[in-house]
Amino acid sequence: NSTIATPRKSGGHQEQQELSGGARISYIFNHIFSSSLLQVRAFDGLSEEEIRTTICNANGTRPSLFVPEMSFDILVRKQISRLEQPGLQCVDLVYEEL
């Protein structure tokens, strides 16, 4: 945490040991939330076999040069759900600050 000076009513400065208000919310987004998102790896929890199987199931009997939209949606939704916990943590921290 950073030390910041806040004005006192007498005109001097009072030292604070923690960020507060908008500065704390900015810190939550820029440091806590962003670092928790960086820890979520794109392919964690997805094996190559699972990717192949999902693509084959979407193709059926016809071959395809490109990844079918349906299999892409299935795989992406699974990975996006892994972002729920960091998002909820961020919401909780911001709510506590308000």
Position 18 confidence tier, pLDDT thresholds 50, 70, 90? confident
Cα–Cα distance between 46 and 44 in angstroms, integer?
Answer: 5
Residue 4 reports pLDDT greater than 50: no
> Shortest CA distance to 96 belongs to which of 17, 6, 27?
27
Cα–Cα distance between 68 and 5 in angstroms, integer?
Answer: 56
CB 74 within 8 A of CB 59: no
- List pLDDT tens digits, range 23-51: 888 888 888 888 888 888 878 888 888 88
What's the pTM value of the predicted model, to 2 decimals?
0.55
Position 69 confidence tier, pLDDT thresholds 50, 70, 90? confident
Token pair listed for 10: 């007498």
Token pair listed for 1: 């945490």
